[in-house]
Amino acid sequence: MPENKSSLAALTLGAFGVVYGDIGTSVLYAIKEVFGSGHVAFTPNNVYGILSIFFWTLTVIVSLKYVSLVLRADNNGEGGLVAMLALASQAVKDKPALRSKLLLIGIFGTCLFYGDGVITPAISVLSAVEGMEVVSPKFKDFVIPLTLAILLALFMVQKRGTAGIGRFFGPITLVWFFTIAALGIPHIASHPEILAALSPHHALRFMWTQPGTSFVILGAVVLCVTGAEALYADLGHFGKKPIRIAWFSVVMPALTINYFGQGALLLSRPESVKNPFYMMAPDWAVVPLVVMATLATVIASQALITGAFSVTKQAIQLGYLPRLQIRHTSVRDTGQIYIPAVNWGLFVAIVMAVVLFRTSSSLAAAYGIAVTLDMLITTILTFFVIRYGWGYPLALCIAATGSFFVVDLAFFSSNLLKFTEGGWFPLAIGTAIFALMTTWKTGRELLREKVRSGSMELREFLDSVFAAPPTRVDGTAVFLVADVDTVPNALLHNLKHNKVLHEENVFVTVRAREVPFIPTDQRIQLTDLGNDCWQVVLSYGFKNDPDVPKALRGLREKGIELDPMATSYFLSREVVVPTLGGGMRPWREKLFAQMHHNASGAADFLRLPSNSVVELGSKIEI
């Protein structure tokens, strides 16, 4: 990552919009949900206690856990749960039983991200638009239609990419942070004694005197750390330093000032609990504030939608999802992608959430279970990374992650109380996606075993073929095969029906590795099979874009010249037939067969030239 001052400033500015959009808009609803829950009586001591809990939740979970510890666990500069899972998996690769369990836990955590990805845009945009009710109660009937219209516009522009407007995200969000700080300052100035809540003894006293209430309200307190996972997920885009500078210099101070301003307002005007954020503003500023808040929540939602595209692409690369149509929306930035199926799937789920729950308060009940379970999973994976990957002493690893585990477990347990009130919704989404991912992964393994069991060993087969060689024709045949050293069905069909063999034959296997990127000079592994036949293994990281023709051009350096105009790509396409008594339950086999049928073509995914592809199919029972 460049270290010069100008690039550092630009990266820090960008981090405001992408990394901190979610957590920056939590001021719209977090305090309102805690005090509006009915569990906390309006007393000065309780206001001090709640504000202290908010401050120290931000400090422990964000400042200490994510900014100080988790950001250190980068996978070749990349972050996020998929990167952490890859690190943990590599750390325990000599313990296969433990590795398989960690993979399941990590993939489930990745699936929960989609549940969070549904609730967060819904609650953020809805809470911003609800500010219209502060202007006039007459606007109440327009809140849901306007929210849905904003969300529809947001998802419709995804196919055009965000490169053009993305440069404005950071500055707008920075203005938002200055705005929320400016809202809080006058109220703190009128009640400066509220700053005493910075002391942890107020939080400890509240929890000591009201343990039951403290446990229950943790489900609402967690709203103040919405988007904390984005700190780690966006590590690869900005780097540790800009994320840390943005947090400690602007984001943390602005959030603290606004929350304490809301607390000061509640001390003087308890009736403001119905919407303390907007009621901090003078009457003339409410409408501009609604517009500003809506912009901020749209930016926060955009960051999450982009994250969903990125996570989906990584899951496809690692073999947990079928190939989907992926469009690149920028010629310069390969990270700018658009996945239509994910885009509209998210939109439908978000519309369901808005229509089903109807208010940000109801959505707040649905929020929490998924994100706190994700935080818990991140802590668990972090332990295995620092213990087995970095080799730190066991006592130090337990001390470093144990306290965070207790905090995360307390938040998760509290949020379980909200399961029937809406917490089931994001869990249902995450569980459904987990079923899809595990079904696809298991189905692919069964399919591969079935193909492998009926395949011949490539070297032996070629030896037998060249014992009485068939007619050789000009050009190069590139055979895509899932497993190294097995005979592709496409080759068998070509020999059986055409009775010819190309002058040059390249057998290519594409492998996804558990690292974000693999440099071009380390991508090709070449084996000479003789008789102008070669075996090539192309390795890609889970954030690389597979491009087989481009990779094969690297064979020139190894003395193999392939003429693009005389090269044909042969693919074997299997049609899956579910059978009783197979490797999975009947419903999962049918689901896998449907997913396999609907997967986008390998030719598009591997960027093969459409006019040079030959697909030969076969039916396989699993």
345-368 tens-digit pLDDT:
999 999 999 999 988 888 888 888
Looking at the predicted structure, is the pLDDT value of residue 254 above 90? yes
**Predicted pLDDT of residue 346:** 93
Whether pLDDT at 131 is above 60: yes
For residue 8, give both structure tokens.
């550092």
pLDDT value at position 484?
86
Task: For residue range 304-343, list pLDDT tens digits in order.
Answer: 888 888 888 888 888 899 988 888 776 555 557 788 999 9
Distance CA 185, CA 191 (A): 10
According to the model, what pLDDT value does residue 371 have? 85
Distance of CA 94 to the CA centre of its chain: 27
Sequence-ordered list of residues with C-beta below 8 angstroms from that of 613, at least 6 positions apart, any chain: 568, 569, 571, 603
- Number of neighbouring beta carbons within 10 Å of residue 543: 22
Of 201-210, 376-385, 446-455, give the lowest mean pLDDT range: 446-455
Angle between helices 340-357 and 286-317 (to 10 degrees): 130
- pLDDT score, position 35: 83
Q: 173: alpha, beta or left, given left = phi > 0 and alpha = psi -120 to 50?
A: alpha
For residue 332, the model assigns a pLDDT of 56
Q: Pick the most confident of 80-84, 178-182, 543-547, 563-567.
A: 178-182
CB under 8 A, 24+ apart: contacts of 76-79: 76/515, 76/516, 76/517, 76/541, 77/1, 77/235, 77/236, 77/239, 77/516, 78/235, 78/236, 78/516, 78/517, 78/543, 79/232, 79/233, 79/234, 79/235, 79/236
What are the backbone angles phi and psi of residue 40, rounded to the nearest 5°? -115, 120
Are the C-beta atoms of residues 622 and 596 closer than 8 Å to each other?
Answer: no
CA dihedral 398, 403, 404, 405 (to 10 degrees): 70
Render pLDDT for 286-304 as a digit per residue (tens, 0 to 9): 899 999 999 998 888 887 8
| pLDDT in the model for residue 329 | 73
Q: Are 288 and 277 in contact (CB under 8 A)?
A: no
* Residue 524 in tokens: 């090709």
Look at residue 14 and tell me whether its pLDDT is greater than 60. Answer: yes
Which SS3 state, helix, strand or coil, does residue 131 take? coil
Q: What is the pLDDT of residue 2?
A: 41
pLDDT of 394: 94
Q: Are strands 524-530 and 533-540 parallel, antiparallel or unpaired?
A: antiparallel
Residue 220 pLDDT class (50, 70, 90 cuts): confident
pTM of the model: 0.84
Token pair 């606004």: residue: 258
**Whole-number average pLDDT of the chain:** 87
Mean pLDDT along residues 425-443: 92
pLDDT of residue 581: 65
End-to-end CA distance of the chain: 47
Band of residue 171 on the pLDDT scale cut at 50, 70, 90: very high
Please report the pLDDT score of residue 27 as a whole number: 92
Neighbouring residues of 376: CB distance < 8 A, sequence distance ≥ 6: 405, 408, 409, 412
Distance CA 508, CA 537 (A): 6
Asked if residue 531 lies in contact with residue 470, where contact means CB atoms within 8 angstroms, the answer is no
pLDDT for 513: 85
**Identity of residue 512:** A
256-to-26, 225, 597 alpha-carbon distances in Å:
12, 12, 52
Distance CA 361, CA 390 (A): 43
For residue 165, pLDDT over 70 is answered with: no
Q: Determine the pLDDT at residue 3.
A: 45
pLDDT of residue 164: 60
